[in-house]
Amino acid sequence: MSKRMISFIASLILIFVCFLPAHAVGGGESQIGVTVDFGFYHAVKSGRYVPVHITVEKLGEFSEGILELRVPVNSQEQYIYEHDILLKQHGAQDINFYIPVYGDTKYLQISVYDKEGECIFTHKETMILQDDYGEIFTGILDRLENDESRLNNLIVDDNSDISIKEFHITTDNFPEHILDLDLLDIIIVNPSAEKILTRNKKKTLEQWVDQGGLCIYNESSKDGYEALGNGVLCYYSQNLFDQDEEDLKDIFLEIIDKERMSNIQNEMMMRTDSDYWEINDLVSVSNQESADSLYFYMGLLVVYLITVCPLVFYFLRIKRKSAYYSYVVMGCTCLFSLVIIVAGARTRMYQSIVNYCRIIDLNQDKIYEDTYLGIRSPNNKMNEMTVDPSYQIFPVQNGYDSYGIYSNYFFLTGMDGSRNQLVDYDLKIKTGKDYSGVEIKNNKAFDVSLFHLKRNSANTDDKSLDASLHIFDNSITGQVTNRTGKDLEDVFIAGFSQFYYIGSIKEGETVELNGELFTNYSVQYFQTVSSLFDKKHEKAASYHLSTCFTEPVNRFKIAGFAEDDGDFLGENTFYLSGSLLISQNCQVDFTKGDQIYYPVLLKRPAVISGNYRYKSFMMESGYCVVNYELGREFEVDYITFYENNCEAEGIAFRKSFSGTAYFMNWQTGRYEEVSLPGRFDRETLEPYLNDSNQIQVKYVDNAYGDNVYSIGIPYLTVTGRE
């Protein structure tokens, strides 16, 4: 036999062996078959939730045990997920994990243990972590598989070397779970795919956009941008893939916009959950009921010093018993020590502390619940927390500390062979049919561990916080009815730039609103209205609004706070402190006769020059020129500029605009000074509206100079007819 033939046969054998399923530890016939799929073609991204789908198939006598998933953070740190396995005859079980990945995660290790704790299967899967320079994960959705590279390695931003990494997705394998898309920054939908996406998959795509995604409809019948929740729909009428490389760079830079690009860059640099610090701040609430006034203890100290020093000495000297002074001082010291111990008993912590914020979003059919919690211990003991098994548990971790070193959250040793060996770890998440729980070890005293609990359930009791509203010209009319089953306080209505505080509403009560005026505010700067709230509710309200309105959108939410008993936790003993926020989308009518009112412009404004942040209506010192599109098929009756109330006590870098504003006169080609805020009717606007219904405004800061970083320019609303 020739050497060439021998090499060919050896290659075939090698390929055949590589594609054999991983076998049980210790050799012999496998009792189970395990297949693993994760990420997009095994590519993952730091700071995101990576979907891991594992199928365990029964091949032998094995029927019951535990599947364990280990994910290293670097060469020393790793964390554990556990899930019960229960296989019927000739059956299979699908197990899904959604895990955060950080730092130097290079592989997943999957192990299966039987009831006796013996490892019967172990296997490693290699991960492809994004490159250090950063990649924008972009999914291209087609009707059929298309492996042609169309955007791969396209550098979008020359300054930061951020490039496109493309993934091809067919309509058949497009997921129906939103977390399966968490790795993606952009999804491009081609016309062939758009037409045949199923209803459920379209809903998943819309939810992904609503939570902050960017979706581009390629070769669309229209052009422009449309806000959908926290994300953006972009309609591009030409074929993206027919453009040359330089044009593609400009197109993507315009579509992504500066703020989104900045967020992507920060996420890549920090390699951490984008919401980590916000959630950490949200649940970092002191236990006020355990606090005592410092003045009380200062008073005890003063009484002690006066008693021990002058009074005791003077008393013993009168009695001519000064020789006993040292003994009396000793007795007074013991007495006051006992007083301090008794007085401070309520301030000492013996059990673990759980602070949480529970946000329930009501829908006609479903109830969406997100609970963010932080657990800390007053000592270095193990923390064990069980939760209702209907919740999914997601760790919220910071993969990078302030010194640029990966944080040591997880550590694991042992685990080779028998599960009965001593195992050391920092975090273990355990899930099963009837339980879910977390074990935390080796944390320093009062170090916080953050978690996100998620649950969706049917709204079988028809719970609602129903608001039927008519909003027009910054005023609100309508009624609000509380059918949540709880008394609510600090109830408010908010949109992207409009806020109205109601107060308390009892269960079953209806509140009428009669032309009340909104307060104009910025979601990013909630301090301007937070003084209306109870102090303990400010952070939750601010966090909820910031996650609901990251993009300008004509949507309004109503929300209020209720008492909560933390019933999502199992039978654990904690010092428990938390808040419950219940919210719902409002039904809003923006019409009056044949007129329509838009509190937020539907089209993204174009920045001609200067620095303007359209999501917060802020400019930097100096000047900026902004082109507003009022709607090409819209007859404008009038536009109104409302003051941006961005100032808050104790913050020096923000000021409301008090400079000079100019409108571009399209007939003369010159800017003309106008007074803002104010209303401008159709007749006044005639020279300032071009054929595309655009108005160009120049803002000049001649009040603050370089002393103020952010200047809140007025909010623009438009009223007219289709």
Is residue 282, in this structure, part of any structural domain at all? no
Q: Distances from the Cα of 414 to the Cαs of 421, 423, 424, 470, in angstroms?
A: 7, 6, 7, 64
On whether both 150 and 67 belong to a single domain, the answer is: no
Q: Is 316 helix (H, G, I), strand (E, B) or coil?
A: helix
Determine phi and psi for 627, rounding to 5 degrees: -105, 110
Least confident interval from 258-262, 327-331, 366-370, 512-516: 258-262
Is residue 11, in this structure, part of any structural domain at all? no
The answer to whether 98 touches 392, Cβ cutoff 8 Å, is yes
On whether both 211 and 149 belong to a single domain, the answer is: yes
Q: Is the pLDDT of residue 13 over 50?
A: no
On whether both 167 and 113 belong to a single domain, the answer is: no
Alpha helices in 525-610 (DSSP H): 527-530, 538-548
Distance between CA atoms of residues 342 and 364, nearest Å: 52
Q: Final residue of a domain: which of 420, 454, 488?
A: 454
Express the helix, strand and coil content of the chain in percent, nearest 5 each.
20, 40, 40
On whether both 585 and 687 belong to a single domain, the answer is: no
Q: What is the pLDDT of residues 350-377, one digit of tens each?
A: 677 888 999 999 988 889 999 999 888 7
CATH number at residue 231: 3.40.50
> Which is higher by pLDDT, 341 or 660?
660
Q: What is the pLDDT of residues 685-713, one digit of tens each?
A: 999 999 889 999 999 988 887 777 788 89
Is residue 8, in this structure, part of any structural domain at all? no
On whether both 194 and 234 belong to a single domain, the answer is: yes
For residue 79, what pLDDT band results from cuts at 50, 70 and 90? confident
Tell me the average pLDDT across 396-419.
Answer: 41
Is residue 4, in this structure, part of any structural domain at all? no
Domain count, the chain: 6
For residue 293, what pLDDT band results from cuts at 50, 70 and 90? low
Tell me the average pLDDT across 447-469.
Answer: 89
For residue 683, what pLDDT band results from cuts at 50, 70 and 90? very high
The answer to whether 58 touches 88, Cβ cutoff 8 Å, is yes
Stretch (H or E) spanning 455:
strand 449-458
Is residue 304, in this structure, part of any structural domain at all? yes
Distance between CA atoms of residues 74 and 90, nearest Å: 38
Distance separating the N- and C-terminal Cα atoms of the chain: 83
Long-range own/partner contacts, residues 625-628 (CB < 8 A, 24 or more apart):
625/696, 625/697, 625/698, 625/699, 626/696, 626/697, 626/699, 627/694, 627/695, 627/696, 628/601, 628/694, 628/695, 628/696, 628/697, 628/716
Is residue 16, in this structure, part of any structural domain at all? no
Q: Is 310 helix (H, G, I), strand (E, B) or coil?
A: helix
Q: Is the pLDDT of residue 417 over 70?
A: no
pLDDT on residue 413: 30
The answer to whether 303 touches 393, Cβ cutoff 8 Å, is no
On whether both 59 and 82 belong to a single domain, the answer is: yes
Distance between CA atoms of residues 103 and 400, nearest Å: 8
Tell me the average pLDDT across 377-406.
Answer: 69
Determine phi and psi for 138, rounding to 5 degrees: -125, 120
Tell me the average pLDDT across 183-194.
Answer: 90
> Which is higher by pLDDT, 628 or 652?
628
Domain hosting residue 418, numbered range:
351-454
pLDDT on residue 269: 59
Q: Minimal CA–CA distance to 275: which of 45, 48, 529, 537?
A: 48
Q: Is the pLDDT of residue 534 over 80?
A: yes
Is residue 185, in this structure, part of any structural domain at all? yes
pLDDT on residue 400: 46
Distance between CA atoms of residues 94 and 164, nearest Å: 32
On whether both 117 and 167 belong to a single domain, the answer is: no
Q: Final residue of a domain: which of 85, 104, 129?
A: 129
Q: Final residue of a domain: which of 592, 618, 648?
A: 592
**Chain centre distance of CA 609:** 32
On whether both 263 and 141 belong to a single domain, the answer is: yes
pLDDT on residue 595: 93
Tell me the average pLDDT across 337-341.
Answer: 79
Q: What is the mean pLDDT of the chain?
A: 81
Tell me the average pLDDT across 259-266.
Answer: 69
On whether both 523 and 409 belong to a single domain, the answer is: no
Tell me the average pLDDT across 116-133.
Answer: 79
Q: Which residues of 439-462 are buried (b: 16+ CB within 10 A; e: fewer)?
A: bbbebeeeeebbbbbebeeeeeee
pLDDT on residue 378: 78
On whether both 572 and 664 belong to a single domain, the answer is: no
Distance between CA atoms of residues 205 and 216, nearest Å: 11
Is residue 215, in this structure, part of any structural domain at all? yes
Strands 43-44 and 128-129: parallel
The answer to whether 473 touches 490, Cβ cutoff 8 Å, is no
pLDDT on residue 381: 72
For residue 340, what pLDDT band results from cuts at 50, 70 and 90? confident
In single-letter form, the type of residue at position 327 comes to Y
CATH number at residue 607: 2.60.120
On whether both 541 and 605 belong to a single domain, the answer is: no
Q: Which residues of 599-621 are buried (b: 16+ CB within 10 A; e: fewer)?
A: bbbbbbbebeebebbbbbbbbbb
State what percent of residues in the chain have pLDDT above 90.
27
Q: Is the pLDDT of residue 407 over 70?
A: no
On whether both 441 and 494 belong to a single domain, the answer is: no
> Which is higher by pLDDT, 61 or 625?
625
What pTM does this model have?
0.76
